[in-house]
Amino acid sequence: LKSKFLAAIGAAGDEARLEEVRLAALGKKGEISALMATLGKMDPEERKATGARLNLLRDEIDTALRAKKAALADAALDARLREEWLDVTLPGRPRRMGTIHPVSQVMDELTAIFADMGFSVAEGPQVESDWYNFDALNIPPEHPARQEHDTFFMARAEGDNRPPHVLRTHTSPVQIRAMADRGAPIRVIAPGRVYRMDMDQTHTPMFHQVEGLAIDRDISMANLKWVLEEFCRAFFEVPSVELRFRASHFPFTEPSAEVDIRCSWEGGQLKIGQGESWLEILGSGMVHPKVLAAAGVDPDQWQGFAFGMGIDRIAMLKYGIPDLRAFFESDLRWLRHYGFAA
């Protein structure tokens, strides 16, 4: 009997089977319990001897059952631990965070640099009336400059009597709005989107400009030169820059100048601030008296400079980006390559 039960205990593969064995041996209807029940009918001598052996057998079976039960529990725990094993030393999975678009980063940077020089930010609408975009800037309807701007015109239904509107072709109309709003003296920049029908490696139909405007009693081209040099030193993070002012023409400034920055190409790498080459970065000049007058500022008392700079262009220069179109494709691989995205 003993070896039968010990064998059954050894063979039990799980706790349910082990419980069956326990019931068969020690349960109320178990074989050992049945033998115990016969003790009552024995005479004292026999009962004592048999009882002692039965107790011993019961204890041995009981011990074996407990040992097996513990072993099964251990095995189950081991199996679970193996299954649910977790390596807490593994590095975490990186979570990709959104980042600010490079053009927005550059806008923030230049806004901060000009803020240090006393310029606040002015804004205007991207759908602009043709008066603000052209007429007020001394570009009357038949002026050839209108054609050069590759303007997007807003469609107008028959009988629509509102003044004609365009997608602004430059940020210069914000000069007019800012002066009309705030009067003189004034020192503002106006960063924002502008639109022209043009598309190649260095042109996109939407791009960004920042307008600068400083009007006071005796502001001159010398102030313009200093402001632009300070800006370029800070923006390109170089100890010194050299700017070249080339005589030019804009209807809204007189005199006018296009400004180039000194640079070099070393093994395909663009270096700003030194070298033999020049790169055009902006248009500028002294605000034309007619423009001041159109904005309600008296040209006999006030004068100042204005400039318009391509934001995407200076971003390309700063980060060595060859193709402007990439800015507007939102290709994450491209953004990551230039360190603009995680």
Residues placed in the known binding site for Mg(2+): 254
What does the H/E/C string look like for 63-106? Answer: HHHHHHHHHHHHHHHHHHHHHCCCCCCCCCCCCCCCCCCHHHHH
Q: Tell me if 251 contacts ligand PHE by CB under 6 A.
A: no
Among 133, 138, 204, 253, the residue binding ligand PHE under the rule CB under 6 A is 253
Asked whether 123 and 189 are in contact (CB, 8 A), the reply is: no
Q: What does DSSP say about strands 120-121 and 186-195: parallel, antiparallel, or unpaired?
A: parallel
* Member of 232, 306, 324, 341 binding ligand PHE (CB under 6 A): 306
Binding-site size for ligand PHE (CB under 6 A) equals: 10
CB of 330 to ligand PHE, least distance (A): 25
186 to 205, contacts with ligand PHE by CB under 6 A? none
302 binds ligand PHE (CB under 6 A): no
Q: Which is nearer to ligand PHE, 68 or 168 (CB)?
A: 168
Q: State the Cα–Cα distance between residues 174 and 119, nearest whole angstrom.
A: 14
- Kindly state whether residue 283 participates in binding ligand PHE, applying the rule CB under 6 A: yes
Residue 266: both structure tokens together: 């070393």
Q: Can residue 129 be called a binding residue for ligand PHE (CB under 6 A)?
A: no
Dihedral over Cα of 326, 329, 333, 335: its sign? positive
Under a CB-based contact definition with an 8 Å cutoff, are residues 168 and 125 in contact? yes
Q: At what angle do helices 311-319 and 102-116 cross, to 10 degrees?
A: 100
CB of 309 to ligand PHE, least distance (A): 8
Residues constituting the chain: 342
Q: In whole angstroms, how close is the CB of 320 to ligand PHE at the nearest point?
A: 24
Residue 177 found at the interface with ligand PHE (CB under 6 A): no
Binding residues: 254
Per CB under 6 A, residues contacting ligand PHE are 170, 172, 250, 253, 283-285, 306-308
